[in-house]
Amino acid sequence: MNKNLRVKSSDYIDETNRISFKFNGKTYHGFKGDTLASALLANDVHLVGRSFKYHRPRGIMTSGSEEPNAIVQINPGTNRTEPNVRATEVEIYEGLEASSQNCWPSVEFDIGGINNFLSPFFPAGFYYKTFMWPASFWEKYEFFIRHSAGLGKSPTSSDPDIYDHRNIHCDVLVVGAGISGILAAKNAAKNNFKTLLVDEKNELGGSTFYENNEFNKIDNKTPSEWLKKEIEELKNIKNLEIKTRTSVAAYHQYNYLLAKENLTDHLEAKDKANKIRQRLLKIRAKKVILATGALERPLIFNNNDRPGIMLSSAIKKYSEFYGVACGSKNVFFTNNDSAYESALSLYNKGINVEAIVDIRDQSESKIVKKIEEAGIKIYWSHTIVDTAGYKRLNRVSIMKLSNDGTSVTGSKISISCDCLGVAGGWTPAVHLYTQSGSKLKFDEEKQIFLPNQNTSEQISVGSCGGDFKIDEIIKNLNQKLKDSLNIKETDLDKIKIEIDQENSKRNIWLLPSDKPLGKTKPFVDYQNDATAKDIKLALREGFRSIEHVKRYTTTGMGTDQGKLGNMHALGIIADTAGVKMGELGTTTFRPPYTPLTFGTIVGRNVGKFFDIFRRTPMNDWHVENKAEFENVGQWKRAWYYPINGETMHQAVQRESKAARESAGILDASTLGKIDIQGSDASEFLNRVYTNAWSKLAIGKCRYGLMLNEDGMVYDDGVTTRLGENHYLMTTTTGGAANVLGKLEDYLQTEWPELDVYLTSVTDHYATASLCGPNSKKIIKKIIPDLDLSDESFPHMSFKEAKIGNIQCRIMRISFTGEHSYEINVQASYGKDLWEKFIEAGKEFNITPYGTETMHLLRAEKGFIIVGQDTDGTMTPIDLQMDWIVSKKKYDFIGKRSLYRSDTMKEDRKQLVGLLTEDPNVILEEGAQIVSELNQNPVEMLGHVTSSYFSPNLNKSIALAVVRGGKDMMGKQLFVPMENKNINVTVANPVFYDEKNERLNA
Amino acid sequence: MFLINCPYCGERDQQEFKAGGEAHIERPKQPTELSDDEWAEYLFMRKNTKGVQFERWNHAHGCRKWFNMVRDTSNDEIKAIYKMGEKPPAQ
Given CB atoms, is B85 within the 8 Å cutoff of chain A? yes
Last residue of a domain, one of A396, A424, A452: A424
Query: Structural domain tally of chain B?
Result: 1
Judged by a CB distance cut-off of 8 A, whether residue A895 touches chain B is: yes
Give A737-794 pLDDT, tens digit per residue: 999 999 999 999 999 999 999 999 999 999 999 999 999 999 999 999 999 999 999 9
Q: Do both A2 and A138 map to the same domain?
A: yes
A899 neighbourhood in chain B, CB within 8 Å? 32
B91 within domain boundaries: no
Nearest C-alpha of chain A: how many angstroms from B78? 10
Whole-number pLDDT of residue A588: 83
Using the predicted structure, report yes or no on whether residue A616 has a pLDDT greater than 50.
yes
User: Do residue A20 and residue A139 come from a single domain?
Assistant: yes
- Identity of the residue numbered A948: Y
Residue in A255, A455, A891 closest to B32 by CB: A891
Q: Which of A604, A627, A644 is the last residue of a domain?
A: A604
The CA distance from A182 to A276, in Å, is: 27
Min distance B3 CA to chain A CA atoms (Å): 6
Residue range of the domain that includes A462: 162-294+428-498
User: Which of A455, A748, A896 lies nearest to residue B31, judging by beta carbons?
Assistant: A896
Residue A722 pLDDT exceeds 50: yes
Q: What DSSP letter does each residue of A172-235 carry, written as one string?
A: EEEE--SHHHHHHHHHHHHTT--EEEE-SSSSSSGGGGG---TT-EETTB-HHHHHHHHHHHHT
- Among A120-129, A453-462, A914-923, A978-987, the range scoring the smallest mean pLDDT is A120-129
Peptide bond connecting A591 to the previous residue in cis, omega within 30 degrees of 0: no
Does residue A239 share a domain with residue A275?
A: yes
Is residue A877 within 8 A of residue A707, CB to CB? The reply is no
Distance CA A220, CA A494 (A): 13
Count of CB atoms situated within 10 Å of the CB of A934: 5
Confidence of residue A52 (pLDDT cuts 50, 70, 90): confident
Q: Is A286 on the interface with B (CB under 8 A)?
A: no
Would you state the pLDDT for residue A149? 55
Q: How far is CA A532 from the centre of its chain?
A: 33
Give pLDDT tens digits for A178-199.
999 999 999 999 999 999 999 9
Q: Note every long-range contact of A76-81, with CB atoms under 8 Å and residues 24 or more positions apart, other chains counting.
A: A76/A153, A78/A155, A79/A155, A79/A156, A79/A157, A79/A158, A79/A159, A79/A160, A80/A155, A80/A159, A80/A160, A80/A161, A81/A153, A81/A154, A81/A155
Give A741's contacts in chain B (Cβ within 8 Å). 18, 58, 60, 64
Q: How confident is the model at residue A129 (pLDDT cuts 50, 70, 90)?
A: low
**What percent of chain A stands above pLDDT 90?**
83
Domain contains A744:
no
Q: Is B56 on the interface with A (CB under 8 A)?
A: yes
- Do residue B39 and residue A749 have CB atoms under 8 angstroms apart? no
> Is there a domain that residue A364 lies in?
yes
Closest to A166 (Cα-Cα) out of A199, A196, A193: A196
Q: Using a CB–CB cutoff of 8 Å, tell me whether A741 touches chain B.
A: yes
Whole-number pLDDT of residue A1:
42
Q: Are residues A991 and A946 in the same domain?
A: yes
pLDDT tens, residue by residue, A602-615: 999 998 899 889 99
**Which domain CATH number covers A929?**
2.40.30.110
Task: Please state the domain count of chain A.
Answer: 5
Do the Cβ atoms of B36 and A901 come within 8 Å?
A: yes
φ/ψ (deg, to 5) at A343: -60, -40
Per-residue model confidence as pLDDT tens digits over A368-382 = 999 999 999 999 999
A351 lies in the same domain as A419: yes
As a whole number, mean pLDDT of residues A288-304 equals: 97
**Is residue A240 one of the residues assigned to a domain?**
yes
Smallest CA–CA distance, residue B73 to chain A, in Å, is 12
pLDDT score for A127? 65
- Which residues of A are less than 8 Å from B65 in CB distance? 748
Model confidence pLDDT, tens digit, residues A688-703: 999 999 999 999 999 9
The answer to whether residue B88 is domain-embedded is no
Nearest-by-CA chain B residue for A752: B85
pLDDT tens per residue, range A790-833:
999 999 999 999 998 999 999 999 999 999 999 999 999 999 99
Domain span including residue B53: 3-27+35-83
Does residue A12 register a pLDDT over 90? no
Q: Does residue A539 carry a pLDDT above 80?
A: yes
Residue count (chain A): 1001
Q: Does B3 touch chain A (CB under 8 A)?
A: yes
Across the interface, whether the CB atoms of A254 and B2 are under 8 A apart is answered yes
Is the CB of residue A753 less than 8 Å away from at least one CB of chain B?
no
Q: Are residues A184 and A134 in the same domain?
A: no
Q: Are residue A9 and residue A148 in the same domain, yes or no?
A: yes
* Domain assignment of residue B20, yes or no: yes
B62 touches chain A (CB under 8 A): no
A563 within a domain of the structure (yes/no): yes
Residue A962 is which amino acid?
Answer: V
In a domain, A685, yes or no: no
Integer Cα distance of A714 and A711 in angstroms: 9
On whether both A342 and A228 belong to a single domain, the answer is no
Do residue B39 and residue A437 have CB atoms under 8 angstroms apart?
no
Average the pLDDT over A102-131 and give the result.
Answer: 70
Distances from the Cα of A928 to the Cαs of A193, A668, A945, A961, in angstroms? 66, 32, 10, 10
pLDDT score, position A476: 96
List, as ranges, residues 245-274 from A with C-beta within 8 Å of B: 252-256
Q: How much is the pLDDT for A130?
A: 64
Q: Is A448 left (phi over 0), alpha (psi -120 to 50) or beta?
A: beta
Within-domain flag for A756: no
| Structural domain includes residue A6 | yes
Q: What is the pLDDT of residue A586?
A: 83
Question: Does an H or E element contain A152, and which?
Answer: none
Tell me the three state secondary structure of residue A919. Answer: coil
Mean pLDDT of all residues belonging to chain A: 93
Q: Across the interface, which of A255, A709, A895 has its CB nearest the CB of B43? A: A709
Checking if the pLDDT of A121 tops 80, the result is: no
For residue A85, pLDDT over 90 is answered with yes
Q: Please give, rounded to a whole number of angstroms, the shortest distance from the CA of A257 to a CA of chain B.
A: 9
What pLDDT is recorded for position A151? 72
Q: Of residues B50 and B90, which shows the higher confidence score?
A: B50
| In a domain? residue A661 | no
B86 vs A: CB within 8 A = no
Give the CATH number, domain containing residue A347: 3.50.50.60
Q: Which helix (H) or strand (E) holds A384?
A: strand A382-388
- In this model, does residue A3 exceed pLDDT 70? no
For β-strands A797-803 and A726-731, DSSP reports them as: unpaired
Contact B3 A254 (CB under 8 A): yes
**Cβ pair B34:A744 closer than 8 A:** no
Domain termination residue (choose one: A424, A441, A470):
A424
Q: Residue B45: give its domain's CATH number.
A: 3.30.2270.10
Task: With CB atoms and an 8 Å threshold, state whether A253 touches B76.
Answer: yes
Please give the pLDDT value at position A60: 97
Which residues of chain B have a CB within 8 Å of the CB of A890?
A: 32
- Indicate the residue of A256, A750, A895 with minimum beta-carbon distance to B1: A256
pLDDT at residue A215, rounded to an integer: 87
A715 band by pLDDT with thresholds 50, 70 and 90: very high
Question: Looking at residue A502, what is its pLDDT?
Answer: 67
- The reply to whether A471 and A583 lie within a common domain is no
Kindly report the CATH number assigned to the domain that includes residue A567: 1.10.10.1100
Q: Is the dihedral of CA A68, A70, A74, A76 positive or negative?
A: positive
d(CA A281, CA A197): 13
Residues A27 and A131 in one domain: yes
In Å, the largest CA–CA distance within chain B is 43
The phi and psi torsions of A308 (rounded to 5 degrees) equal 110, -15
A437, A891, A901 ranked by CB distance to B31: nearest: A891
pLDDT at res. A623 = 98
Q: Considering only CB atoms, which chain B residues are within 8 Å of A439?
A: none
Considering the domain boundaries, does residue B39 fall inside one? yes
The answer on pLDDT for A881 being more than 70 is yes
Whether A896 and B32 lie within 8 Å, measured CB to CB? yes
**Looking at residue A93, which CATH number applies to its domain?**
3.10.20.440
Q: Supply the ipTM of this predicted assembly.
A: 0.97
Above 50 in pLDDT, residue A69?
Answer: yes
